[in-house]
Amino acid sequence: MLIAITRQISPRFDECELTHLDRQPIDLERARVQHRQYEAALHELGCEVISLPPEADLPDSVFVEDVALVFDEIAVITRPGADSRKPETESIAWALSPYRMLRTIAAPGTIDGGDVLRVGQTVYVGRSNRSNRSGVEQLQALLAPYGYRVQSVEVTGCLHLKSAVTQVCEDTLLINPAWVDRSIFGEMRFIDVDDSEPSAANAVWIDDAVIYPSSFARTQRRLEAAGLHLKIVAATEVAKAEGAVTCCSLVFRRV
Give me the residue spans of the domains in the chain.
2-253
**d(C-alpha 202, C-alpha 174), whole Å:** 7
Q: Is residue 247 flagged as an active site residue?
A: yes
What is the structure's pLDDT at 150? 98
**Domain 2-253 -> CATH class:** alpha beta
What is the structure's pLDDT at 76? 98
Nearest Cα neighbor of 101 from 79, 77, 75 is 75
Handedness of CA 232, 238, 241, 247 (dihedral sign): negative
Alpha helices for the chain (secondary structure H): 28-44, 89-96, 133-143, 161-164, 217-225, 236-240
198: cis peptide before it, omega within 30°?
A: no
**d(C-alpha 205, C-alpha 208), whole Å:** 8
**d(C-alpha 175, C-alpha 139), whole Å:** 24
What is the structure's pLDDT at 230? 98
Q: Is residue 20 flagged as an active site residue?
A: no
What is the structure's pLDDT at 248? 98
What is the structure's pLDDT at 69? 98
SS (H, E, C) 183-194: HHHCCCEEEECC
CB 45 within 8 A of CB 208: no
| Active-site hit among 158, 160, 169, 248 | 160
Instruction: Note the pTM of the prediction, 2 decimals.
Output: 0.96
Q: What is the pLDDT along the chain (255 residues), one digit of tens a residue?
A: 999 999 999 999 999 999 988 999 999 999 999 999 999 999 999 999 999 999 999 999 999 999 999 999 999 999 999 999 999 999 999 999 999 999 999 999 999 999 999 999 999 999 998 999 999 999 999 999 999 999 999 999 999 999 999 999 999 999 999 999 999 999 999 999 999 999 999 999 999 999 999 999 999 999 999 999 999 999 999 999 999 999 999 999 998
What is the structure's pLDDT at 192? 98
Nearest Cα neighbor of 34 from 248, 194, 242, 220 is 248
Instruction: Provide the β-strand partners of residue 132.
Output: none
**d(C-alpha 240, C-alpha 236), whole Å:** 7
